[in-house]
Amino acid sequence: MTAVPEPKYCPSSDGDLAYHEAGAGDLVVLLHSGFVDHRVFDAQIPALAETHRVVAADVRGHGLSANASGPFRWADDLAELLRHLDAGPAVLVGVSMGGVIVSDTLLEHPELVRAAVVCGASTGEFQDSDPWHREIQAETARTLAAGDVEGWLTSFLSYAPGPHRTLDDIDPAIPRRLREMALRTLSKHTPGERNWLVPVTDTWSRVPKIDVPVLTLNGALDTADVLAAAQRLADGVRHGRAVLVDGVGHYPNMEKPAEFTAVIRDFLKSL
């Protein structure tokens, strides 16, 4: 596999934001899931860079990017990065938290987005009522507040297989890689530190105004609420489509990277 290039930095209004860049052509920006970093796209970066300029960002507070020292929105950070790149409207691809950042950016900075892929997410106002998910949320919050790193990792890694499987059912390299990335991000923070993130609001009512192609791409073994919300997003925009990857959960880009990348490539060809 082609090595990911060394990081570059975008000077933002609150510290430097790291990103990795490869390839040439129309711009595709990859946004990772929560507590990890750009390396969740290790399989996609070199593959998509064969035909496109690919930028894989480390979201604020993650990876090599600065922590927040005041109120911020991830969509505004992404807008700063896109303007820094000066490459015209971009195709945005986001997984989980990254998918929320993509949908928020579609709503807040539509002029910067050419098309979007949202995976494992919908809008930031989505609430998963699945008891399995609620239990994990409660346990990750409890262990994180208590500084119980191992307990937190156990809960966090449960997202990977989804509610219908266990970690024993997936490639052990996946939780190992997620663990490594999460530990690096956790090392940037302290228990009980202030959360400066300002959520984007009034999202679902604005979804019908989205006027660029949107693909929702999800693992078929994710929670029913996640899949229903993804379908709602695809149905709610003017040019939406929903695709499921069979046999995988919350990280189809890691469990079936070739299939995930092929769907993204087909979407890019259709633009």
What confidence score (pLDDT) does residue 191 get?
Answer: 80
d(CA 108, CA 113): 10
Domain ranges of the chain: 8-127+192-269, 131-186
What confidence score (pLDDT) does residue 129 get?
Answer: 86
CATH superfamily of this structure's domain 8-127+192-269: Alpha/Beta hydrolase fold, catalytic domain (3.40.50.1820)
What confidence score (pLDDT) does residue 5 get?
Answer: 66
- pTM metric for this prediction: 0.96
What confidence score (pLDDT) does residue 2 get?
Answer: 46
**Residues in the chain with pLDDT values less than 50:** 1-2
Instruction: Encode pLDDT of 7-38 as tens digits.
Output: 999 999 999 999 999 999 999 999 999 999 99
